[in-house]
Amino acid sequence: MTGKEDGGRLPRWRRSDGGTVMPEERLGWGQTLVMGVQHVVAMFGATVLAPLLMGFDPNVAILFSGVGTLIFFLAVGGRVPSYLGSSFSLIAVVIAATAYAGSGPNPNIAVALGGIVAAGALYLVIGLAVMAAGHRWLEALMPPVVTGAVIAAIGLNLAPIAVQGISASGFDTAVGLFTVLAVAAIAVYGRGLARRLSIILGAVAGTLLFVVLTEAFGLGAPLDLSGVAGADWIGWPAFTAPRFEAEAMALIAPVAVILVAENLGHVKAIGAMTGRSLDRWLGRAFVGDAVATMVSASGGGTGVTTYAENIGVMAVTRIYSSLVFVAAALVAILLGFSPKFGQLILAIPGPVVGGLSFVVFGLITATAGRIWVEAGVDFSKPINLIVVGVALVAGAGDLAVDIFGFTLGGIGTATFGAILLYQILNRARAPEA
């Protein structure tokens, strides 16, 4: 790619001759569409499950995941291949801010939307700061030990929700645990794309067991598909405007720090896979994700972030063309305009959703371990042990702190606590030999 092309608004995509397809290259248009569909399917389970767990409208959520992906694409000038889907880091704070019961539409979703817009605004400020001053200060503020601690705290904070989701009865527990085992078996023993689709295939397996046990043995209420049958194939999504309440905004806004960490890791991973540094696009990547989050929440969608599932697909196929993600975004937008699709998602049985959340929340927690291992975090050092230990207890125990009339929930306390504690201890400790 020439310097002139690199400085332009968008690259001039050239046709690939095969092998590794770089971001500024493209496949044939038919192949591009097929690859776009594959990326939508690969992140389908995660980006649909997150809205479901928060009580968002699945049609609106997937519609804005597509819109957000296009916003991100334009922000980075087509240089960073990425799909933006619903962020799991928002689940705990949204549930806390809205007092969501855990099933069906969330009646207080407007309050959550106001908080997500606030998180996007904070995220935008960070992105602009990175564009102006570079990203080194951000890595110093949130080193891997801090980032991992906060992500683990989020997973532990969500753990009670997952347990509650499969604990209503022995029947629910059985179906939920079967779903957990199905996802695990597919993830471990599956091959190719099946392994990437372990969440959605596990949901199918859990739902089939639910249908057998309810229809053949009468162990629970049968699966209700009347909403699916009565829904139109094409229709206008039910948009919702945000409502701005100070307490919810203070509770949700700190999650911007996690969105930054997720996006930072994504850009670094793609740079490593393609053999070229994408660090100079970090600020624009943050701005694109932030604007996408604010636009999404302004219409009733969730906060959005980059996805590991899509990194996995790129690693397997070695196709990094950013035009593939334009195709994926357009497919997602089309699904957003299908009420039948939304009703199909809402028909997933409760204990199956509980089982899926059991796995996903556990994976969020376990991701922290991968971050620490890959970064070589040394837990023989007291500073690392203390920062991680304090953050985990604050998150798992949902420690709420009142600051000038605003209540900072467990996720916020763990986030800012880990950042501040690390900075204080790192500056106060004696030089090591």
CB atoms within 10 A of CB 301: 30
Q: Give me the count of residues in the chain.
A: 433
CB atoms within 10 A of CB 225: 12
| 309 confidence band (pLDDT: 50, 70, 90) | low
Q: Please tell me the predicted confidence (pLDDT) of residue 370.
A: 80
Who wins on pLDDT, 3 or 220?
Answer: 220
- What is the bridge-based pairing of β-strands 401-403 and 406-408? antiparallel
- Whole-prediction pTM: 0.79
Express each pLDDT in 157-169 by its tens digit.
Answer: 888 888 888 888 8
Express each pLDDT in 89-118 by its tens digit.
Answer: 888 889 888 988 777 789 999 999 999 999
* Helix, strand and coil in the chain, % to nearest 5: 70, 5, 25
Domain ranges of the chain: 22-222+230-427
Q: How far apart are the C-alpha atoms of 6 and 234, rounded to whole Å?
A: 40
Residue 221 in tokens: 């209420």
Q: Please tell me the predicted confidence (pLDDT) of residue 45.
A: 62
Considering the chain, what is the average pLDDT of its residues? 85
For 40-68, what is the mean pLDDT? 85
| 63 confidence band (pLDDT: 50, 70, 90) | very high
Q: Please tell me the predicted confidence (pLDDT) of residue 4.
A: 40
- What is the bridge-based pairing of β-strands 14-15 and 25-26? parallel
